[in-house]
Amino acid sequence: MKMSVVTVTEKGQIAIPTSIREAAGIKKGDILIVIEADGKILLEKTKKIAEGMKDDFKDIIKFTELSLEKVWNNKEDEIWEQYRKK
C-alpha cells in the first residue's frame, strides 16, 4: 500500500503522485470514477469497473439460462436448442 499527502486546490483539484499513478496503472487520458462511501474517497479506473461488470453479467446470464432451462425443461424444444447453440 502506498500513501501520500496532497493538497486540494480552490477548484477541488488534487494531483495524484507519480508513484501512486504508476502503481495503479493510471496514465494520461485515463478516465476515473470517483466514489464516496462513509467519508472515504475511492478512485477507480472505468476500464476496471467495466471488466468487473462483465463478470457480473456473466453470472446473471448463467443464472437466467439455468432458470429458463428449468422452466422449459424440454431439451427437445427447438427454441431452447437454438438458444443453447449461440
In terms of Cβ atoms closer than 10 Å to its own Cβ (0-12, 13-18, 19+), residue 15 is exposed
**What pLDDT is recorded for position 15?**
96
Q: Give kind and range of the element (H or E) at residue 57.
A: helix 46-72
Mean pLDDT of the chain: 80
State the pTM of this model. 0.53
* Per-residue pLDDT, 22: 94
pLDDT, position 18: 95
Q: Where are the domains of the chain?
A: 48-85
Residue 79 reports pLDDT greater than 60: yes
Sign of CA dihedral 44, 48, 53, 59: negative
Is 9's pLDDT higher than 70? Answer: yes
Q: What is the pLDDT of residues 30-58, one digit of tens each?
A: 989 888 888 899 888 887 666 666 666 67
**What interhelical angle do 78-85 and 46-72 show, nearest 10?**
150
